[in-house]
Amino acid sequence: MAATLRRKSMSEGSDRPKVVIVPEHTKVTNGTDVQEKLIIAARVFSDLLKPTFGPRGLDKMLYKTDGTTAVTNDGAKIVAELLVRHPAAKMMVSMANAQEEDCGDGITTTMLICGSLLIEANSLLRKGLHPLTLVDGYEMALKAARDQMAADSVAPSDEVLVAVAETALRGKGAEAALDIFAPIIVDALKIVSQNRGEAYAEHVTMHKSGTGGLRDSCLVRGIVLNRRVLMDTLPNDFFNVKVACLDGDLKIRELTRDVEIKITNAEELDSFIEAEQERRDTISQSVIDSGAGAILCSGEIDKDILHRLANSGILAVGELDSSEIRNASDALGASIVDTPLGIESSDLGVCGRLSWERREASDGVEDIIRIEECPRPSIVSIEVGGAGGTGTEEVIRGLHDSLRATSLAMDENVLPGAGSIHCRMSQAVRIASEAQGGRERLAMEAFARALETIPATLAENSGGDPLDRILELRAAAREGNTPTGISPDGKTWPVEGVWHPNSVIENSLVSATETAMSMLRIDQVISARGE
């Protein structure tokens, strides 16, 4: 009877244990609270990056977890150093990383537009607009904006390419030498393109000279290395020299297994030493017979071989990275060999000048080796003047961004900058919205206002009044086809000499819009950590 009662009680559920699906500390955020968190994440990024935007943007000092500091206004660098926790913030960080990987520029623009789209959306959501209606309106607006981009894009001339390089460099610590760096960047990419058939930022290496100022920077038709020249009795200047590139050691190959060599008398020892020396002589003679005036290798160099080569007037530099050997090969037009034996004259590259300079002021004595005046280099170098501290690092970061932007402009059309294209896209979206009779029109108008964040921020950072400037830009966009943007002193002006590659502007807008739409589709945030 008791057993029967127990079964009945359990069937009725009176003693049924609770089903635990998630831990009790799991926090679920619903409704408008979700949107509030998304807006907070967007506003934090906007407030953080706004002061750094444009040619008059200010810098941020980053104090890293390892105790080091950095000073920069580069959006990618700032975002990379942030330790974000909220999933919405992580989405924006992923968006920034994708923009950096695809274009190398436009990260701050992307973050500002995405933040503005979410802030504008929040106002409409509070008025009762459905999130999916917002998404539909944003999609329509994006199409209108991209159509305007296509209409305003132009093919770049050589002068415009220089302007693209200058535009990407502004605000990156290189203003004192814009007229130096911009032509260098264009020339570097053109040289690489002629000899390689394509040109990317990765085909241009950077070297800090450690002396002079930024205006002492120059383009090297080759590469610059920092390594110790062991035989300093050699001349420090070679002209029209043939160079071998060896990815390995310049010494007797070591045995791969432990062996024991038994020597019972002096004659056997002499014979062993003589055999070792013959092998060294064979290696040395192979290099000499090839006609090389210098040899670069990634491994160690035997001292006897080093002296034998030096006596023949051959410069040997060892312990280079494999990447440096590859760069040297590309600059010289040399084949990379894996053994010093049997080097052929056809394996050698050539340069017009090879020089080295002794530097003893640093902690470890390191020489600067310049391989330059290469006839057909597929890799070139920019030697950046200056003391070589944090400021120079920021300049190099800006140079790399400029190289990325300019290389894109060489293969596609360009768009006017200074906020002008965003104003024209905003006007195009407003015109397109007038054809919409539904609530999507409200979203399109919000999209148009979000685009104006770019010129408004430029005006604000330049000391101008953002509201007045936006009204003036709207009028200019309605009245004519002349691109009008924000000048460095915060005024409206017909844009001259400010250009961006199509892909930088388009990828930025598409990425920002898609990220904002993804966030608007979120109706719950579930935190297993209870935060």
The 3-state secondary structure of 102-154, one letter per residue: HCCCCHHHHHHHHHHHHHHHHHHHHCCCCHHHHHHHHHHHHHHHHHHHHHHCE
The per-residue pLDDT for 295 is 93
Specify the pairing of strand 294-297 against strand 315-317.
parallel
List every span in the chain annotated with CATH 1.10.560.10: 27-154+415-527
Buried b (16+ CB within 10 A) or exposed e, 492-529: bbebeebbbbbbbbbbbbbbbbebbbebbebeebeeee
Helix (H) or strand (E) segment spanning residue 499: strand 499-501
Distance (Å) of CA 256 to CA 7, 253, 259, 366: 76, 9, 9, 32
Per DSSP, the three-state class of 157 is coil
Residues 6+ positions from 463 with CB-CB distance below 8 Å:
56, 489, 490
CA distance 504 to 167: 12
**Multiple choice CATH, 222-376, 3.30.460.80, 3.30.420.40, 3.50.7.10, 3.40.50.620:** 3.50.7.10
What's the pLDDT score for residue 359? 73
Domain 27-154+415-527 carries which CATH code? 1.10.560.10
pLDDT of residue 354: 94
Whether the CB-CB separation of 442 and 135 falls below 8 Å is answered with no
Phi/psi of residue 281, nearest 5 degrees: -65, -35
Q: How far is CA 9 from the centre of its chain?
A: 68
Looking at residue 21, what is its pLDDT?
Answer: 52
Q: Which residues of the chain have pLDDT under 50?
A: 1-11, 13, 255-256, 530
The SS3 assignment for 358 reads strand
Return the pLDDT at 229.
Answer: 85
The pLDDT assigned to 464 comes to 87
Q: How far apart are CA 110 and CA 103, in angstroms?
A: 12
pTM for this prediction: 0.81
DSSP character at residue 387: -
CA angle 302, 307, 308 (to 5 degrees): 95
Q: What is the pLDDT of residue 123?
A: 87
Q: State the span(s) of the chain assigned CATH 3.50.7.10.
A: 222-376
Closest-CA residue to 231 (of 317, 354, 321) = 317
Residue with tokens 């390689």: 196
Crossing angle, helix 390-409 and helix 178-196, to 10 degrees? Answer: 50
